[in-house]
């Protein structure tokens, strides 16, 4: 998702509870003070080994364990889990940190987490399947499917929704989704996080603001685009976007740990908790009503499931070659120093390009990226203590990202190269 949801001004410097793109200057992303877990009186384990099969115990082609552990040991994340796959086989998996600050139980490599805007890639894939079936056309106007729902809907196409060139205002940049001080954060924790939103409510918030630009005349990440996309899926299929993702992607690929929970506030199965910082210490933010994210960021998954989804998508199992070519036709996205296709981000690195998406929702950040030819994928989830950021986590995330994408060669080691990564929420 994109704007700073409940993002604090003043003391928090708009770095608080962010459901939005972390457009941090330079190459870093949202960061967390190294002392966060220690301040809570918990000794955070450095790492938990992968499960016990022979394949998982073998030495990986690229060992990302040190970079993962750095998120906890120096970056201060309370938990981090990751997996990398190469040529259809798991090459590495690990976990670091704790499930929760109260018990200090070690995080699990198979733990589930909220995936934020990585949900958009699932939703876009469903749309492109419907295009393959002749039930949608990318250059049809929004007005054709949702008459009267959005101003100027006759001039905005489905393609422009998917690649964020519609110009529509991001509802999460509205002041009602921002917090400005500890009092408003406490109010959100006590009441606001349980609010139930309909997609129409979120679109109406956007419609109350002027667009960023005329359709097709710029690029601005806007979660409103994917709220509308989810509504179009329901209009065309007669089923919710969640149900369509489940029957078209989750079921066929056997992504058994992936869910799209609607309004349910919990995370099923094993998972690490998310936290936000208050003056008296960390407050648990794991439970929220995720209807505020809807088709823009409602999903829950694991690193293993995300890697399998990426491999299937780029391996040609979900879309025709023509639709995958359209999905990877990307426009410049200067806000994130990258290019954006249809529900996909392309990062251009010294070692080549990587494709995927990043995501975040309170307490959770996710990275899912890999090679265009489907030969390599890597997924990472880490739990930041919102509001207690330093530069350390940004450096640790950059190090993980560059090594996972480029291996252990000069491009990954050269600090002068840096990472263009921006986490989108």
Give the catalytic positions in this structure: 117
CB-facing half-sphere around the CA of 247: CA atoms within 13 A = 9
Q: How far is CA 394 from CA 146, 362, 370, in A?
A: 41, 17, 20
Do residues 161 and 225 lie in contact, with contact meaning Cβ atoms separated by under 8 Å? yes
Q: Following CA atoms 202, 9, 366, 234 in sequence, which dihedral angle do they give, to the nearest 10 degrees?
A: 0
Q: What is the chain's Cα-based Rg?
A: 20
Q: Match 């930041």 to its residue by tokens.
A: 384
| Residues whose CB falls within 8 Å of the CB of residue 52, separated by 6 or more in sequence, listed in order | none
Tell me the C-alpha distance between 35 and 388, whole Å: 9
CB-facing half-sphere around the CA of 295: CA atoms within 13 A = 33
């Amino acid at each position: 998702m994109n704007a700073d949801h409940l993002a604090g001004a003043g003391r928090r410097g708009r770095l608080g509870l962010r459901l939005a793109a972390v457009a941090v200057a330079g190459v870093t992303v949202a960061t967390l003070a190294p002392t966060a877990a220690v301040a809570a009186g918990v000794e955070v384990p450095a790492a938990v080994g992968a499960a016990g099969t022979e394949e998982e115990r073998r030495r990986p082609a690229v060992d990302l364990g040190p970079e993962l552990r750095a998120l906890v040991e120096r970056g201060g994340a309370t938990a981090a889990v990751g997996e990398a796959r190469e040529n259809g086989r798991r090459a590495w998996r690990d976990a670091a940190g704790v499930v929760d600050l109260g018990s200090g139980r070690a995080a699990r490599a198979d733990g589930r987490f909220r995936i934020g805007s990585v949900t958009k890639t699932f939703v876009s894939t469903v749309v492109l399947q419907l295009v393959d079936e002749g039930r949608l056309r990318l250059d049809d106007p929004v007005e054709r499917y949702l008459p009267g729902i959005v101003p100027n809907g006759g001039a905005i196409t489905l393609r422009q929704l998917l690649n964020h060139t519609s110009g529509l205002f991001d509802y999460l940049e509205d002041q009602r989704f921002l917090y400005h001080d500890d009092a408003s954060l406490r109010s959100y924790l006590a009441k606001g996080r349980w609010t139930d939103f309909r997609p129409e409510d979120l679109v109406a918030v956007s419609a109350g603001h002027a667009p960023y630009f005329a359709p097709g005349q710029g690029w601005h990440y806007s979660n409103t685009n994917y709220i509308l996309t989810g509504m179009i899926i329901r209009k065309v299929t007669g089923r919710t976007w969640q149900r369509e993702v489940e029957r078209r992607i989750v079921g066929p690929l056997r992504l058994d740990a992936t869910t799209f929970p609607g309004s349910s506030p919990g995370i099923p199965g094993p998972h690490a908790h998310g936290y936000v910082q208050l003056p008296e210490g960390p407050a648990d933010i794991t439970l929220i009503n995720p209807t505020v994210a809807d088709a823009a960021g409602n999903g829950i998954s694991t690193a293993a499931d995300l890697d399998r989804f990426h491999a299937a998508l780029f391996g040609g199992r979900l879309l025709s070659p023509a639709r995958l070519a359209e999905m990877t036709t990307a426009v410049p996205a200067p806000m994130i120093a990258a290019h954006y296709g249809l529900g996909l981000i392309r990062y251009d690195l010294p070692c080549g390009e990587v494709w995927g998406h990043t995501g975040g929702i309170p307490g959770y950040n996710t990275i899912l990226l890999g090679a265009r030819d489907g030969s390599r994928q890597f997924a990472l989830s880490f739990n930041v203590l919102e509001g207690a950021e330093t530069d350390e986590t940004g450096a640790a995330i950059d190090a993980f990202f560059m090594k996972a994408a480029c291996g252990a060669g000069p491009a990954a080691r050269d600090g002068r190269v840096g990472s263009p990564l921006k986490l989108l929420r």
